[in-house]
């Protein structure tokens, strides 16, 4: 076994367990739509990750490093999207609602599942900082003679495979306590937290440099 892959896997595991936009997106999706909606968001997030892996495999990701205009366009689009998600959650937090019992929670529609999937996909695919992070982070795990594009894509795949496992566990755990989380005060507090965090991540992305 390539020791560099083992080292990357350990580092990727620590990164995966660190709370970020993906974590709060899955929590918010699960609270409002149940486990299936949370898992739909997970599927979108992982699809966004493999989108970045494909960019590396094709050598496209480096364009974000060398084209300030392209980086700015994608960065602003990603930041606005995160802020839009955050504002939506904050508006939900400000809206009074009755408590919902576990028995009356509707089964998520196909439209809701598609929306949660697209939210996960776009929140990753429109974040150029992910690609730039990998460009800076991955070289230390590449050895002379390695097929750079192929191994980089594989390492990103490992990272998102870990993310698939962790975020799925998170969605299942949040869903398990759904009867408590659906209390009006708890749900509005969670919406406020998710909204503030997502808006904060969006603002940070907008202000970030490469």
CA distance 72 to 67: 9
**Does the pLDDT at position 41 exceed 90?**
yes
Mean pLDDT of 75-85: 80
CA distance 122 to 125: 5
Which residue from 22, 79, 61, 75 is spatially nearest to 45, judged by alpha carbons? 22
In this prediction, residue 154 has a pLDDT band, given cuts at 50, 70 and 90, of confident
Mean pLDDT of 4-33: 86
**Does the pLDDT at position 45 exceed 90?**
yes
In this prediction, residue 46 has a pLDDT band, given cuts at 50, 70 and 90, of very high
In this prediction, residue 61 has a pLDDT band, given cuts at 50, 70 and 90, of low
Other residues' Cβ atoms within 10 Å of the Cβ of residue 78: 24
pLDDT attached to residue 88: 82
Share of the chain above pLDDT 90, in %: 16
User: In which domain, by residue range, is 113 found?
Assistant: 3-8+21-207
- Between 56 and 124, name the one with better pLDDT: 124
How many domains would you assign to the chain? Answer: 1
Share of the chain above pLDDT 70, in %: 85
Domain membership flag for residue 102? yes
In this prediction, residue 171 has a pLDDT band, given cuts at 50, 70 and 90, of very high
Domain membership flag for residue 13? no
Domain membership flag for residue 173? yes
**Does the pLDDT at position 100 exceed 60?**
no
Domain membership flag for residue 194? yes
Other residues' Cβ atoms within 10 Å of the Cβ of residue 67: 12
pLDDT attached to residue 166: 94
- Specify the long-range contacts of residues 9-13, CB closer than 8 Å, at least 24 apart: 9/158, 9/162, 12/155, 12/158, 12/159, 12/162, 13/162
**Does the pLDDT at position 102 exceed 70?**
no
Domain membership flag for residue 15? no
Domain membership flag for residue 160? yes
CB 25 within 8 A of CB 123: yes
Domain membership flag for residue 200? yes
pLDDT attached to residue 42: 96
């Amino acid at each position: 076994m390539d020791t560099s892959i083992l080292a990357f896997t350990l580092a990727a595991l620590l990164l995966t367990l660190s709370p970020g936009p993906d974590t709060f997106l899955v929590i918010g999706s699960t609270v409002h739509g149940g486990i299936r909606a949370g898992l739909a968001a997970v599927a979108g997030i992982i699809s966004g990750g493999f989108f970045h892996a494909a960019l590396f495999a094709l050598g496209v990701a480096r364009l974000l490093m060398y084209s300030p205009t392209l980086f700015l366009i994608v960065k602003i689009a990603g930041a606005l999207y995160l802020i839009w998600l955050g504002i939506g959650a904050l508006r939900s937090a400000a809206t009074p609602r009755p408590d919902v019992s576990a028995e009356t929670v509707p089964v998520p529609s196909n439209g809701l599942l598609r929306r949660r999937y697209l939210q996960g996909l776009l929140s990753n695919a429109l974040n150029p900082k992910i690609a730039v992070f990998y460009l800076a982070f991955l070289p230390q795990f590449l050895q002379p003679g390695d097929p750079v594009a192929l191994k980089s894509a594989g390492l990103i795949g490992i990272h998102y495979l870990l993310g698939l496992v962790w975020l799925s566990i998170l969605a299942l755990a949040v869903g398990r306590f759904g009867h408590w989380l659906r209390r009006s005060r708890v749900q509005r507090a969670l919406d406020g937290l998710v909204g503030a965090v997502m808006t904060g991540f969006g603002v940070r992305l907008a202000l970030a440099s490469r």
